[in-house]
Amino acid sequence: MDENSVRTLLESIASAPEPPPRVDLDRARRRGRRWLWARRTAAPALTVAAVVGTLTVPHAFSVDHSERTVVPPQHTSSPVSLTAPARFDPLVPYASFGWLPRGFSEAAAASIDYDSGFAAASDFVSLEAAAPSAGHLLYLEVSSRGACALTAAAAARGVRAGAVVQVTCTDDQFAVTGPAPDVAGHPAVQINYGEGIAWEYAPGAWASLRADITPAADEPHSRRQAAQDGWVIVARSRADRPTGDLTPARIRADIKAGKLIPPSAATQALLVKVASQVRYGQRTPLAFPFRMTRPLPAGWRLTSTSFTPSGGRLLGTGVSAGPAADRDALSISAAIGPNTACPFYYGQSSYVTQGGVRWVYRVIDETDKHVQSLCATTAVDGLADAGTSLDMNTPGSNAPLPGSAELGGALGVLARTRFLGTDPARWTAAPVG
């Protein structure tokens, strides 16, 4: 594992969907003032411990289970018999939600202030929907045919034996932990002790749907409310922390002890309903606000995209490309929204001006790594967070990455990238080449 991998891993953890904050500014100010007052009045023994360990009172919540229909950008019916492709087109997300419970929307998930889960790659599509008022999230991941190391027969065997079957997909991992009702006639299983379900939507092709509940449900009254609402809740209070690995026996014991609330029939039914109406074979291309006008080097291909749903459109916000040795060697991004600050690292960063915009140009040149990146300090043609990054070396080695020099480094990529303004009507479905 090299340093770059650790960066990626830490980023992946830190960008995980986060629950609503329980941090209380008023309380911090009150305690801070008391501490200052005490210090001023010469209370000598006050320590930091006096201000540690505060908790806010969580909000109770409820879920509206009434229905509404999502109108996706393009409808295709969920076929009973479908052949899933072994490779998706990252520029055309293969799947979409067909129905969401009332209060949930994809747009709400996209507007939450953390990295959202809308991504498309050659082997998966991930989407999410949120009911922000309740702090609930739904995650959908649809994998291409053959991307998950699981067969319906193996899943059924595991369920019958009461065993936990660990499943690895190219971008997803889950544990099969029990039975679940069929999803539109396709075999399904419970995953991660009731966190969600997975189903074989086409022969050899799996999808998973998970529900996430705000940790405000830690508190007993919220747990009861959650149970009434039919959601999966896992105990979180310090006293309930596990003392060992989770095993089926441990799970059963925790359920018996009331530390773990298993998924109710209502939860299962809701997840199955959302899953049943997922639409496959979508053909709506993403629209991107930038275009790199030169083709990718030989052996490189576009590997993944990120996007956000908005007003019935799917707006691309980033692309990654690279050769097999480094699938995300190149990234280009820009989006509608407020520009965020570019970090400036002394010793690595400098400023360059191009197209009337000031960019932070950063070169990380270390053993086994040579990365160049550019970050716009202001909006570029009205677009926020414009930037590009390029690996010049094959990760973990000092060998030049074939193709990166041909692109002319990050500056060469920027010189060949056109930003297309904030009107999606002017955007492109071909962001590269």
Partner 1 sequence: MRSSRDAEFTDYVTARLPWLRRVAFLLCQDWQSADDLVQAAITRLYTHWGRARSAASIDAYARTVLIRAYLAERRSAWARRVTLSAGYPDLPAAADDHESRLDVRAALASLPPRQRATLVLRFYCDLPVEETARELGCTPGTVKSQTAKGLTALRRALAPVTAEGA
User: Among 123, 229, 254, 385, which residue sits at the site for partner 1 (rule: CB under 8 A)?
Assistant: 254
Q: Which alpha helices (H) appear in 57-145, and where do they start and end?
A: 106-111
Report the nearest approach of partner 1 to the CB of residue 348 (Å): 8
Q: Round to whole Å and give the CA distance between 100 and 273.
A: 9
Single out the segment in contact with partner 1 by CB under 8 A; choices: 165-173, 222-230, 330-338, 375-383.
165-173
Q: Is there a contact between 199 and 187 (Cβ–Cβ < 8 Å)? A: yes
User: Among 35, 74, 273, 363, which residue sits at the site for partner 1 (rule: CB under 8 A)?
Assistant: 35
Tokens linked to 363: 């070169």
Is 367 a residue that touches partner 1 (CB under 8 A)? Answer: no
How many Cα neighbours within 13 Å face the side chain of 81? Answer: 0
Q: CA nearest 372: which of 384, 388, 356?
A: 388
Report the nearest approach of partner 1 to the CB of residue 319 (Å): 22
Is 29 a residue that touches partner 1 (CB under 8 A)? Answer: yes
Report the nearest approach of partner 1 to the CB of residue 51 (Å): 4
Please report, as residue ranges, which positions from 301 to 330 form the binding site for partner 1 (by CB under 8 A).
none
Please report, as residue ranges, which positions from 127 to 156 form the binding site for partner 1 (by CB under 8 A).
137, 149-151, 154-155
Please report, as residue ranges, which positions from 91 to 120 form the binding site for partner 1 (by CB under 8 A).
113-114
Label residue 204 left, alpha or beta by phi (over 0 means left) and psi (-120 to 50 means alpha). left
Q: How many residues does the chain have?
A: 433
Single out the segment in contact with partner 1 by CB under 8 A; choices: 20-28, 180-188, 290-298, 318-326.
20-28
Nearer to partner 1, 232 or 315 (CB): 232
Q: Round to whole Å and give the CA distance between 228 and 216.
A: 15
How many residues bind partner 1 (CB under 8 A)? The answer is: 83
The residue ranges of DSSP E strands in 17-84, in sequence order, are 67-69
Q: Round to whole Å and give the CA distance between 127 and 171.
A: 13
Report the nearest approach of partner 1 to the CB of residue 408 (Å): 25
Q: Round to whole Å and give the CA distance between 259 and 204.
A: 36
Single out the segment in contact with partner 1 by CB under 8 A; choices: 32-40, 63-71, 306-314, 410-418.
32-40
Report the nearest approach of partner 1 to the CB of residue 144 (Å): 16
Q: Give kind and range of the element (H or E) at residue 175.
A: strand 173-179
Q: Round to whole Å and give the CA distance between 79 and 233.
A: 33
User: Among 165, 198, 314, 383, which residue sits at the site for partner 1 (rule: CB under 8 A)?
Assistant: 165
Please report, as residue ranges, which positions from 49 to 68 form the binding site for partner 1 (by CB under 8 A).
49, 51-56
Nearer to partner 1, 17 or 424 (CB): 17
Measured in degrees and rounded to the nearest 5, phi and psi for residue 220 equal -55, -40
Nearer to partner 1, 80 or 160 (CB): 160
Please report, as residue ranges, which positions from 208 to 227 form the binding site for partner 1 (by CB under 8 A).
210-213, 215, 218
Q: Round to whole Å and give the CA distance between 329 and 341.
A: 23
Q: Round to whole Å and give the CA distance between 94 and 82.
A: 13
Please report, as residue ranges, which positions from 398 to 417 form the binding site for partner 1 (by CB under 8 A).
none
User: Among 79, 220, 312, 343, which residue sits at the site for partner 1 (rule: CB under 8 A)?
Assistant: 343
